[in-house]
Amino acid sequence: MGDIFFDLDGTLLNTQAGISESIQSTLTKLGYPAPSAVELQHCFGPPIRDSFARLMDSDNGDLIETAVTHFREHYLQQGIYNYQLYPGIAALLMQLASHGKTLRVLTIKPQPQAERLLQHAQLSSLFSSIHGSHLDGSRSDKTQHLNSLLQHHQRDKQHWMIGDRSNDIQAAKACNINSVAVTWGYGEIAELQRANSDFIIHHPDQLIPLLINEPVINI
């Protein structure tokens, strides 16, 4: 088996509360109304610049960069540790690692934030590498990022991408690797079904037969 790529937000960690409070603080500081719960729900998955452009209904690059700066200041000072480790994730990762699986993280979250979060959650030692975006917004396209990473890995092996949003599944399909959609994260079931992933699972335990090469029934 090849490498197993995990999304971070909504797949390994529930970071929704910390991100929400930092978005709300930013918009208030810039004089915009607080977003509704529905509006916030659409912010978990896309690049943060895209979310602010939508929330502020603006394509003003300077304004968007100002919002990103305020967001990061608040998030790094207060929001980043307001997260929860999804039940069963730590046990899953330890079991996969004990079977010699190569685990990696692929996220649109800036890489320094991703590394800091995974270190705090005591998960970073289980991953061979952590791949996030750059602070300037580059490497935020998950399909392009995954494709570039796979250039350095054997294409004849069975690689996997596991995530909770359609962009995770789309990246896997574009790169011709196996895809697993998880329902405990931020993506709604209809979104995941439309993405047409190879598998949809509802609990981390269901990854064990998939990734340790045992028979599996897709449910």
**How would you write the pLDDT of the chain (219 residues) with one tens digit per residue?**
789 999 999 999 999 999 999 999 999 999 999 888 888 888 887 889 999 999 999 999 999 999 999 999 999 998 999 999 999 999 999 999 999 999 999 999 999 999 999 999 999 999 999 999 998 889 989 999 999 999 876 655 689 999 999 999 999 999 999 999 999 999 989 999 999 999 999 999 999 999 986 544 444
Cα separation, 165 vs 7, in Å, equals: 9
Looking at the structure, tell me whether residues 97 and 121 fall in a common domain: yes
Looking at the structure, tell me whether residues 66 and 118 fall in a common domain: no
Question: What is the tally of structural domains in the chain?
Answer: 2
Largest CA distance in the chain: 55
Looking at the structure, tell me whether residues 92 and 189 fall in a common domain: yes
Cα separation, 107 vs 114, in Å, equals: 8
β-sheet bridge partners, residue 106: 131
Q: What is the pLDDT of residue 213?
A: 67
Looking at the structure, tell me whether residues 105 and 166 fall in a common domain: yes
Q: What is the pLDDT of residue 219?
A: 44
Looking at the structure, tell me whether residues 119 and 195 fall in a common domain: yes
Q: What is the pLDDT of residue 57?
A: 94
Residue 71, domain member (yes or no): yes
**Residue carrying the six token digits 């929400």:** 20
Cα separation, 58 vs 32, in Å, equals: 12
Q: Give the tokens for residue 213.
A: 């090469």
Q: What is the pLDDT of residue 11?
A: 98
Structural domain of residue 59, as residue ranges?
A: 16-79
CA distances from 195 to 180, 199, 201 (A): 10, 11, 14
The residue out of 47, 79, 111 marking a domain boundary is 79
Query: What CATH number does residue 21 fall under?
Result: 1.10.150.240
- To the nearest 10°, the Cα dihedral for 117, 123, 125, 126? -130
Looking at the structure, tell me whether residues 193 and 117 fall in a common domain: yes
Residue 156, domain member (yes or no): yes
Looking at the structure, tell me whether residues 95 and 61 fall in a common domain: no
The residue out of 46, 79, 112 marking a domain boundary is 79
Looking at the structure, tell me whether residues 8 and 26 fall in a common domain: no
Looking at the structure, tell me whether residues 75 and 93 fall in a common domain: no
Residue 65, domain member (yes or no): yes
The residue out of 79, 97, 122 marking a domain boundary is 79
User: Pairing between strand 84-85 and 199-201?
Assistant: unpaired
